[in-house]
Structure 1
């Protein structure tokens, strides 16, 4: 072989598939609502399959733990002021601090993509009986619920302590013009 290496047909096909997949993934980026609707449908199909088969509870438990971990990354700031004091963009801790936007540790798109991949992997695992380990599912469900409540409680306490909201609710309104005009008029009298 001279100058370059010859690619096998499988490698060429894989590269074309990867480019096409990335193209459609990039096109889906601005359509967050549709992406999440599709993922909700996929998760519903997974739940129905597990319910219908009456098994694969350990797979569901593992999926639940992984999704909880993703949720924590989605709700957490990129730089945690509790762990890493730094000079870069951190959350303001005092009223006199400069405003710094909330930057997530796990961006929404990566959160969605990992969530969807995990649901797909869990769904595929339900087709192999080796993953259907017999367990008493109510204990797993109770343990996951306790873990979820404790984790969310800790995360909410962190959000309150460092005064940040990880959701963009839209433009903040400070009051209507009518009420502020009436207050100005009453002060002038």
Structure 2
């Protein structure tokens, strides 16, 4: 049953708009959000400042509530996974060596090839922002506040971080790549 006013029809039985209206609205919101993301791309310092603010607010909330340690642990594991992808080359030299020989320069006289990350900086920032936003929203629901002994989780995460970074640094030394470049290389 639709209204006879000639406007957008609403089903009287369910009082909900037709599916095409919802689809059109979500498409419009998605386009606007993507436009804002595209405009924020060149402002790296501002984006990371926004992230630091969100991370500080999240940390402060968890500290003041004295809970949601399991959510924070899951967030830490996810961020560690993103960090490894951010520090890794797009083409892994170990796999590439097996296929067709080394791809990264091995001598100073080799041609300079810029480091290409497996996870670009903008996608790293966007993923971390989404993760912190979701974790922050989870702190408003008691069902996610699972009681755990947080020092064990912290110790386990620190050990995981140290071992993972040690392996990543050994990989960087073995294949002679640095994931950061300051200034213009020639």
TM-score w.r.t. length of structure 1: 0.83
| 1:41 equivalenced with 2:53 (yes/no) | yes
Deviation, 1:93, is 3.2
Provide the rounded CA distance (Å) in 2 between the counterparts of 1:87 and 1:19: 42
Aligned-CA RMSD value = 2.0
| 1:81 equivalenced with 2:96 (yes/no) | no
Provide the rounded CA distance (Å) in 2 between the counterparts of 1:8 and 1:156: 52
Aligned to 2:179: 166
Show structure 2 runs of 5+ residues with no match.
Answer: 1-17
- The Cα offsets for residues 82-107 of structure 1, whole Å up to 9 and x where unpaired, read as 12335599322344543321100000
Of residues 160, 163, 168, the one that matches 1:155 is 168
Aligned to 1:178: none
Aligned to 1:17: 29
Provide the rounded CA distance (Å) in 2 between the counterparts of 1:166 and 1:151: 16
Of residues 149, 155, 174, the one that matches 1:142 is 155
Is the 1:89–1:100 contact (alpha carbons within 8 Å) kept by the matching residues of 2? no
Provide the rounded CA distance (Å) in 2 between the counterparts of 1:78 and 1:92: 15
Provide the rounded CA distance (Å) in 2 between the counterparts of 1:113 and 1:146: 26
- Does the residue aligned with 1:8 lie in a helix, a strand or coil? helix
Distance of aligned partners of 1:96 and 1:170 in 2 relative to their CA distance in 1, 3 Å threshold: closer
Aligned to 1:182: none
- Does the residue aligned with 1:16 lie in a helix, a strand or coil? helix
| 1:63 equivalenced with 2:81 (yes/no) | no
Provide the rounded CA distance (Å) in 2 between the counterparts of 1:28 and 1:155: 30
TM-score w.r.t. length of structure 2: 0.84
Q: Structure 1 segments of 4 or more deviating over 3 A?
A: 84-90, 93-98
Provide the rounded CA distance (Å) in 2 between the counterparts of 1:94 and 1:65: 36
